[in-house]
Structure 1
Amino acid sequence: MLRSMYSGVSGMKGFQTKLDVIGNNIANVNTVGYKKSTINFQDLLSQNMSGSGVNPMQVGLGSQTSAINVIHTPGSAMTTGVGTDLAIMGDGFFTVNDPANPGQTFLTRAGNFVVDADGDLVTSQGYSVLDTGGNAIRINPNQYASFSINREGQVIGKEPNGNETPLQTIGVANPENPAGLRKFGGSLYEMTAAAGNMNTGTAAAATSMISAGMLEMSNVDLTEEFTEMIVAQRGFQANSRTITTSDEILQEVVNLKR
């Protein structure tokens, strides 16, 4: 059987995966805090045809996916005017956990938070937003008439008489290798061994600041994605043509008997 046919199959499978990655990026073009993914390929093993020449005589056996990486470049900021909408300007992630399973901490760049009936600052899924000590951020509604969040991430409660009291500081995690984080779903990431240490502290410790009333949007560039889609489509077509041509050659070999 012709090696070119199997090479074409591997190429088509690779470009199918590339289209999957591109499709997911485009689907999340308006997702708050979403980070796009890119795919890289590498060649498969090469078959040695002969070792008698000066240089090796080898024929490649196709390609395969080598890595799918998440690109953590910042997205554009959108002003909302909502005091509980937060955006990290710089490196780092907000830390949250599920109240039903507080032992597992997740990271996110999606800062569309709300205050629930108990006064807890939570995500849209109900996950608690954590402070620098890993505790849920709570604003007692019976004690404070309102609250604000400054650039350092300090939650400042305002009493009915006008006095302001610093309550807690929003925790910002700065993993050693953000590309090693694993996507969990719901715009959340979970730590892995490849990501290194979480390094949770203040926004200033992560050389960042927190902007209230703003959200970080997706970093997907539609122009880039559609360009890559064209490349993937043409690559898929070219590999399918390789298979068609190989099939025609095999048909000619079969016809030699006639």
Structure 2
Amino acid sequence: MNQSFYVGALGAGNCTEKFSVISNNLANVNSNGFKPKTSVFSQLVSYNLNDAEDAVTELQAGAGMKVQRTYTSFDTAGLTQTGSTMDHAILEPNAFFMVQDPATGAVSYTRDGHFHRAEREDGFYLMTDAGKLVLDQNREPLKADVTDVDKIQAEMGEEEEEIEEEEEDENEEDKPRVSLYTFANPSRLVSAGNNEYVPVDPGAQPILIERPSMTTGALEVSGTDMAKELVRMIECQRAFTYALRMVTTSDEIEGTINTLRG
């Protein structure tokens, strides 16, 4: 009987954790570049039954379930046009901007490309809303007055010779620019706040994307799907209610048994 109390209370507690994940997704429905998280549950009884017969584990049959982990899918989402040359939208999955905290030097990664020009001691730099410096392909802070390659190509008239254009392009490719990075295993990234991520493995090295797919003058919208999150919330509410009903029923049975004993 005590086991039924435990299973019901464990189920209610884990539903509360899932509620927290859902509420965080809904709270960031308007956050640029936000990627929603998903809770993954593990049934403890199934885990124990699938183990070897002579295995010694802490997971006992009938122990209910628990939140095994939460994962984030870094797929692409829709775009919204802003017209600002400072805004950048990523057009491919598992790609991130590399940003650095100017105070601590800590590096993190984000898909939110809403940048602005900020003045520092030695000039203007491209920064995030959280005050982080945007790093270029050399992992150096990016000057805000860096010439845009696409803009130069658009301004170059058709009267220029093809050879001169090719030489200009070669020179522009070496200039600092907004760059994208990826990881061999993006699922190992964990949230660090402010819509930023850091690798859970200290030794994980970012990989520079040589030909990044992104556009300026637009932002990637939040990946939160309101319909899916509301459905998950209803499911979680039902599960939470059933878990508490198990506790209530077990309490009633215990009360009846104690009355008969008396």
Q: TM-score, normalised by structure 1?
A: 0.81
Q: Give the conservation status (yes or no) of the 8 Å contact 1:83–1:148.
A: no
Q: 1:194 to 1:9 in 2, by over 3 A?
A: farther
List per-residue Cα deviations over 1:78-104 (Å, max 9, x = no partner).
1101111001110310111122233x2
Per-residue deviation, 1:22: 0.3
1:180-219 alignment to 2 at 5 Å? 180-193=188-201, 196-202=204-210, 204=211, 208-219=212-223
Contact 1:177 1:194 in 2 (8 A): no
- Corresponding residue number in structure 2 for 1:13: 13
Match runs of 1:76-225 below 5 Å: 76-91=78-93, 92-102=95-105, 104-117=106-119, 118-140=123-145, 147-148=147-148, 150=150, 166=172, 167-193=175-201, 196-202=204-210, 204=211, 208-225=212-229
Per the TM alignment, residue 139 of structure 1 is displaced from its structure 2 partner at its CA by 4.2
Deviation larger for 129-138 or 36-45: 36-45
Q: How many residues align?
A: 231
Tell whether the 8 Å contact from 2:3 to 2:63 is kept in structure 1 after alignment. Answer: yes
1:81 is paired with a residue whose SS is: coil
Q: Distance in 1 between matches of 2:183 and 2:17?
A: 28
Residue of structure 2 in register with 1:52 after alignment: none
Relative distance call for 1:139 and 1:20 in structure 2 (3 A) is closer
Aligned residues of 1:85 and 1:113 also touching (Cα < 8 A): yes
Kindly indicate whether the alpha-carbon contact (under 8 Å) linking 2:148 and 2:177 is maintained by their aligned counterparts in 1.
Answer: no
One-letter identity of the residue aligned with 2:252: E
d(CA) in 2 for partners of 1:185, 1:127: 13
| SS in structure 2 of the partner of residue 226 of structure 1 | helix
Give the structure with the higher percent strand: 1
**Matched residue of 1:125: which SS?**
coil
**Structure 1 runs not aligned, ≥5 long:** 49-57, 159-163
Aligned-residue RMSD, C-alpha: 2.6
Q: Aligned to 1:134, what secondary structure does the other structure show?
A: coil
Secondary structure of 2:113 counterpart: coil
Give the CA deviation at 1:45: 5.4
Partner of 1:73: 75
Q: Indicate the larger mover: 36-45 or 76-85.
A: 36-45
Shift of 1:230: 0.3
Structure 2 residues without counterparts, runs of 5 or longer: 50-59, 156-167
Q: Which residue of 2 aligns with 1:55?
A: none
The TM-score with structure 2 as length reference comes to 0.80
